Amino acid sequence: MKRRPVAVTGMGAVTPLGLGVPALWRAVMDRRSAVGPPADARIARFAPVVAEIRDFSPVDHLPKKLVRDTDRNTQLALAAAAEALADAGWTADRAAPHLRGIDGERTGIAWGTAFGGIPSYEEEAARLVKNPESRVGPRVVSKSIPNAAAAAIAMRYGIRGPAMTYTTACAASANALGEALQWLWLDVVDRVVAGGSESLFTPTALGGLRSAGALAVEGPEDPESWCRPFDVDRTGMVMGEGAAALVLEPLDRAAARGARVYAVLIGYGASNDAYHETAPHPEGEGAAAAMRRALVSADLGPGDIGYINAHATSTPAGDRAESLALRRVYGEHLDRIPVSSTKGGLGHLLGAAGAVESILCVKALETGWIPPTLHCRHPDPDAPPDLVRDGPRRQRVEVAMSNSFGFGGQNGVLIWADSRLIGG
Are 141 and 67 in contact by the 8 Å Cβ rule? The answer is: no
Task: State the DSSP H helix or E strand holding residue 250, giving kind and residue range, or none if neither.
Answer: strand 242-250
Are 397 and 306 in contact by the 8 Å Cβ rule? The answer is: yes
Distance from C-alpha of 42 to C-alpha of 316, rounded to nearest angstrom? 27
Candidates 170, 227, 361, 376; catalytic one = 170
Pairing status of strand 410-417 against strand 399-406: antiparallel
Are 272 and 286 in contact by the 8 Å Cβ rule? The answer is: yes
CA end-to-end distance (rounded Å), the chain: 21
- 360 burial class (0-12, 13-18, 19+ CB within 10 angstroms)? buried
Candidates 61, 348, 361, 375; catalytic one = 348
> How many CA atoms, within 13 angstroms, populate the side-chain half-sphere of residue 395?
19
> Annotated catalytic, 378?
no
> Annotated catalytic, 311?
yes
DSSP 206-229: HHHHHHTT-B-----SSGGG---T
Distance from C-alpha of 244 to C-alpha of 193, rounded to nearest angstrom? 10
Pairing status of strand 35-36 against strand 18-19: unpaired
Q: Closest by alpha carbon to 8, among 253, 304, 341? A: 253
Distance from C-alpha of 192 to C-alpha of 106, rounded to nearest angstrom? 9
> Annotated catalytic, 375?
no
Distance from C-alpha of 312 to C-alpha of 317, rounded to nearest angstrom? 10
Candidates 61, 227, 281, 311; catalytic one = 311
Are 368 and 394 in contact by the 8 Å Cβ rule? The answer is: yes
Distance from C-alpha of 20 to C-alpha of 386, rounded to nearest angstrom? 30
Catalytic residue IDs: 170, 311, 348
